[in-house]
Structure 1
């Protein structure tokens, strides 16, 4: 699993870091809606004014993910840069009215198992995402492998991951994904990220993955599902939820 959502961007290539921050609005805060400006958010997340480059995406998750109203995904070559952008975001009006529910950190690395299966690597390389841009839905699932997985001989792990790749291939024209390595950076070992316009295909993919032996070694964390939206749209749709003064 390693196809980036924007494969031409170096911020989505090996060596980049991903920071996911899930927020819930503090509905008890009294705020003048006119003071909540999308311009402030755009300036932090999109207009970096020539500073260290950061790739920022925002997602509206309210109604799709319990206790999460929106998600921010940041990519940077240096994790400290992404951290600073998130800190700056928290100083904006909407940021000050939000509580951090969860955060996931991971590094993009070159594939581990796919190069050991060159026949499947060639097939995957030839498949391109054919959905509308931007995709309608994004799904984030942090996972960890059990201790039993890491005790398997390398050849056994490769055989099980080969089956994982084979099961995934028929869906790659409808589901785009990125894998982040998180061992030692959080309580999870991987953060899996998906984009799709076809949720039925995603459900089918996950059922197929659940049916193979490799899935017995997988423990999943909380699922976050949302719709990619511009920062201004997220602010516009969530501001009415804040209590008026």
Structure 2
């Protein structure tokens, strides 16, 4: 274990022997840090943080900090649980949980650019990218393989479906469905995240199926349930199933199209 002499590792913190801790960082009692994690300078890992292996925590990161919730009191704190192979670049802030038993949960292989933020009780999957100052309010759910661009603000309780891309300086007030490309002062769906789908190996047939389903949902003029039934009947496939499940589970409604 390599711990800089200016770092503070409180009694009760559990660090794997392979962990390194840089200058002036603080790891509180109760924190659990897995194998081969790198905690760089001036980071603070709060005591309710549970981190897997091979994570990089850069300068000035705060993980498991007190949530920005006026009802919060310390006895309400729930954990921040982090998977493996994540990178948290300079100034990233992720809050602990407060209102859900599972707390705030971050999966694996996510890349958080400088000053991005996830609020309390967010649930983030795997292989997502959050560009500089991307902001998730409390209780936001992000699936996997999403790209959230710089200065995006996602409203609390919204969901971002798998393989979606949100353009920079976009406010997201409702759910962004899977595979979508969203943009606008208030996010609108402009089409498919074609570049992301190609990069992740989606075939032309799969992309055409997704496009046909969204054309039915947004352009056919059919009532929602009739459009969902037509999509299931006319365009069966895994991508269709994912879209329909996402739509049916939506509580805030979907962003508009066009």
TM-score band by shorter chain is under 0.3
TM-score by structure 1 length?
0.25
Query: Is the helix fraction higher in 1 or 2?
Result: 1
